[in-house]
Structure 1
Amino acid sequence: MRDIAQGVLADAEGRVLLGFRAEHKLSYPHFWDLFGGHVEEGEPIEQALVREFFEELGIVVTRFRRLGLSIEPKPEVNGPKTYHTFVIEAWKGKPENVSGEHTVIEWFTPAKALALETLTDPAREAIETWRALPSGR
């Protein structure tokens, strides 16, 4: 089973940043998703999270906390995966679409994100969990 590090990145207004996955992606092409990716062999999950955010958004994550763990609900389609989800609390830089992973990035209110028909299952679960926190994020 592959480990995936992903993060909920929210701005001061409580909007969540999502990326629209490119056509060439093997799992969830043409779906909105959180940022993150595969944990490399021997790599700590937290290090993978920081690496993926730099590779995909050009930002340096400086503070985060664990939100939860989930299993890919459709392993027959997307492969068996375990998602390690974090809340990104602080970062340096301005998020920009700097890789070929996504065709566009966009800020969404949690309600609008959850209303997207093309939101990945893992992102939906993470946003719902994050939104239910006492602080609202």
Structure 2
Amino acid sequence: MVARIPISAALLVRDGLVLLVHRHPSRRWYPDCWDLVGGHVEAGELPDQAVRRECLEELGVHIHDPVPMPMTISDPTLDWHAFLVTHWDGEPVNAAPDEHDDLRWFRPTDLANLKLAHPTSLPSLLTAIQV
């Protein structure tokens, strides 16, 4: 059995809106689709440490109190760790233009019409936003 790749991702929510990043079309994995900000958990790093690092690297924000949230994805090669984030310092910007070509705030009702990296995560996203 192949080891699953540990990934940490953040669902940033503000004023009822959700921040998603658009993965650059040249990306090898999940190109040209909308996704949560996040990435690989590095050796010796805990998932919550990874999500803090990824938000700083990719959005330029320091997040506070990431709350683990269940999320269903269909990729069996990933060990997925999702976090709900409602508090951070700074204003999110695209600090990783080689990874993302856009970032936007969406209403929950907009999500069903997007090409998502993990479409099976939509119910989990909508449930987390309601909390």
Give the alignment's TM-score, normalised by structure 1. 0.84
- Deviation, structure 1 residue 96: 0.3
Write out per-residue CA displacement over residues 44-88 of structure 1, whole angstroms, 9 at most, x where no aligned residue.
111000000000000001122111254x5145xxxx102111100
Percent of paired sites with the same residue: 33
1:109 maps to what in 2?
107
Letter in 1 for 2:85: I
Match in the other structure for 1:57: 59
Look up the SS of the partner of 2:86 in the other structure: strand
Q: Which amino acid aligns with 1:20?
A: H
- Counterpart CA distance in 1 for 2:28 and 2:121 is 16
Supply the distance in 2 between the matched residues of 1:10 and 1:85 (Cα, whole angstroms): 13
Code of the aligned partner of 2:9: Q
Q: 1:89 aligns with which of 75, 86, 89?
A: 86
Query: C-alpha distance in 2, partners of 1:17/1:43?
Result: 24
Aligned to 1:23: 25
RMSD, aligned CA: 1.6
Q: In structure 1, what is the equivalent of residue 37 of structure 2? A: 35
Runs of 4+ in structure 1 deviating by more than 2 angstroms, as ranges, are 122-126
Structure 1 alignment gaps of length 5 or more: none
Secondary structure, counterpart of 1:87 in structure 2: strand
Preserved contact between residue 34 and residue 123 of structure 1 (Cα < 8 Å): no
Q: CA deviation at 1:101?
A: 1.3
- 1:28 and 1:45 map into 2 onto residues whose CA distance is 21
CA shift, 1:128, in A, is: 2.9
Structure 2, unpaired ranges of 5+: none
| 1:119–1:69 Cα change, 3 Å | closer
Deviation per residue, 1:99-135 (Å, 9 max, x gap): 121100011001102221x11216525413314xxxx
Aligned to 2:48: 46
